[in-house]
Amino acid sequence: MGKIEGIPAPAVRRLSLYLRHLEQNEVRRRAKVSSRELSEAVGVTDAQVRKDLAYFGQLGHPGIGYRIDELVGRIRQALGTDQIQKVVLVGAGNLGRALMSYRGFRNKNFELVAVFDNDPEKIGAPARGLACDRILPLDRLGGVVKAHQVKLGIIAVPAAAAQGVADRLADARIGGILNFAPLILQPQPRVTVATVDLAVQLEQLSFQVIVAGAAAGAPKGRRRVRAPRGSNADDVDAGGPPASNGVQQ
C-alpha cells in the first residue's frame, strides 16, 4: 500500500505539480527544464525532483536537463491522463452546476459524461455539452457507468446524502471518487477517495496566517521553533506554555 506501480504516494502527488509547471512552459514554447527550476516551483529540493523522476528511467540529459515534451508525456502516462478519462457527477445543486460548466476538465483529458440528482425539479434539466444531455435520476447511475465505461465519480451533495451516494458509486464499479461533501466517507473495497473540504483548507490557511503573524511579532531573545512544513512562516515563538488543542490529556 502507499505506492502506485512502484512509485511512492507522496511522489505521485508531486507529479501533478511538476506537470502543471511543465505545461506552463510548453505554452511558452520552452524545450527544456532543470531539476533546480522544478524544485523551486514545487518547493522541494532538486535532489527530490531527480529522485521522483528517476522512477521513469533515465530522462535527464547532462548539461541540458529534462526535455519538457518527453517529461510531460511520461507523467501523463503515469497519471492516466494521456487518454480520455470519463467522469460522472452526482449532485446538480449550486456546486454541481459550477462543476458542470468547468472547462478545465476537458483540458486535462477528463470528460464529464453525465450528471445525476434525486430532485424531481432538477431531473430532466439541460446538461449541455455532456454525452447525456439531461440531468438524470440517480437510479440510472449503474447503467450509464457501464455503458460509458466510467471509472471516476464526483460527489457534490449535502453531507447527509454523501455516504449513500458513495455506496452507489462503489456498487456501480466506480474506482475513484472525488468528494466535495464535508464528510469523511467510509472506505469501500477497491475504491480510492479524495476529499476536498473547503472549510478544512480555510482552517489550515488560517493557522498558517497565525503562525506567520506570531513569527513576525516574536520578541528578540525568545526561543523559536520551526513552523510546520508548508507554512509561509519559518518559525514561531515557543517561549510560553503550549496552547491547548481541546483534547484532554
What angle do the packed helices 141-148 and 159-171 form, to 10 degrees? 50
What backbone phi and psi angles, to 5 degrees, belong to 98? -65, -40
Confidence check: pLDDT of 112 > 70: yes
> Mean of the per-residue pLDDT values for the chain?
85
Residues 27-71: pLDDT tens digits?
A: 898 999 999 999 999 999 999 999 999 888 777 777 778 999 999
Nearest residue to 25 via CA among 64, 67, 68, 59? 68
Tell which CATH classification among 1.10.490.10, 3.40.50.300, 4.10.640.10, 1.10.10.10 matches the domain 3-79. 1.10.10.10
Strands 110-117 and 136-137 come out as parallel
For residue 1, the model assigns a pLDDT of 39
Average pLDDT over residues 151-158: 97
Domain(s) labelled CATH 1.10.10.10 in the chain stretch across 3-79
CATH architecture of 85-196: 3-Layer(aba) Sandwich (3.40)
Is 151's pLDDT higher than 50? yes
Q: Between 82 and 228, whose confidence is greater?
A: 82
Task: Grade residue 4 by pLDDT with cuts at 50, 70 and 90.
Answer: low
